Amino acid sequence: DKKRDFEGKTVIVTAGPTREAIDPVRFISNHSTGKMGYAVAEKAAERGAKVYLISGPTALKAPDGVIMIPVSSAKDMQSKIMEHFDEAQIIIKSAAVADYAPATVHDHKIKKSGESLTIELVKNPDILYELGKIKGDKVLVGFAMETQNLIENAKEKVTKKNLDFIVANDLFTEGAGFASDTNVVKIIHKNGVVEELPKMTKLQLADEILDRIIEIKRT
Ligand code: PMT
């Protein structure tokens, strides 16, 4: 029997990469495929939640029963989250958001000219940090993608972004991170407890994440 323990709850899940436009032809992005976030959205819907899946561009089909909201840039993602923020009790941020975006978006294709080209980047809003400031009673879960000092860096993000817990993956671990159907993560709780999970599919991990959210009393 499937659990329906998210019945009556509204969950916002973010997934995929963001795209930061340089000109009408080019953008800055990253390797996120959306698999992790779509798995979380799928499981949350299966367990009875109303799910807003706010996703950067991916090649994936929206899971059954979720409300799909496609976005492109980090700023788009932030404004779509804010549209549904009041309604949600739970926010899970699996998206790989660009930290910087081009300072100006050119109206026309940049023409090839000199031997080098410099693109100035400016800081994007840190969506999760901003949500952390206004979260109130909501459960806020982040992800952390690291290539070194996984636990230390992830712990810092839990505190700074006011999260309930963070799901940390190391890009250089076999079977973890971008594009694979599996992930290998450590879950770091706000009280500092670190759980080391074995390699599992992203769908199994999605259930593990949801199990921990439901254990949080106020959910
Ligand atoms: O999509 P897949 O191919 O399945 O890959 C899954 C994944 C590797 C993308 C996923 O498991 C993952 O780690 N997602 C978070 C990637 C990331 O951006 O990590 P970060 O450590 O840079 O950011 C920390 C947290 O802050 C994240 O929850 C991120 O969504 C959020 N953030 C970051 C920057 C920013 N400007 N705004 C944010 O909200």
Catalytic residue chosen out of the listed positions 30, 149, 162, 183:
30
Residue 41 within a domain: yes
Ligand 1, closest atom to CA 16?
A: 1
Distance from Cα 17 to the centre of ligand 1, integer Å: 8
**Tell me, what CATH number does 199's domain have?**
3.40.50.10300
Residue 1 lies inside a defined structural domain of this protein: no
Rounded to whole angstroms, what are the CA distances from 107 to 4, 20, 42, 100, 170?
49, 14, 38, 19, 37
- How confident is the model over 73-111, as pLDDT tens digits? 999 999 999 999 999 999 999 999 999 999 999 999 999
What percentage of the chain's residues is helix, strand, coil (to nearest 5)?
25, 25, 45
Pocket of ligand 1 (CB under 6 A): 32-36, 74, 93-97, 99, 124, 126-128, 142-145, 157, 169, 177-179
Please tell me the distance from the alpha carbon of residue 187 to that of residue 17, in angstroms, as a whole number: 22
Spatial CA neighbour of 127 closest among 155, 149, 99: 99
Please check whether residue 110 lies inside any domain of the structure: no
Task: Look at residue 5 and tell me if it is in a domain.
Answer: no
Is 106 contained in some domain? no
Q: Determine whether 162 is an active site residue.
A: no
Domain that holds residue 95: 10-100+122-215
**ipTM of the complex, rounded to two decimals:** 0.98
Is the pTM higher than 0.90? The answer reads yes
pLDDT tens profile 146-194: 999 999 999 999 999 999 999 999 999 999 999 999 999 999 999 999 9
pLDDT at 3: 87
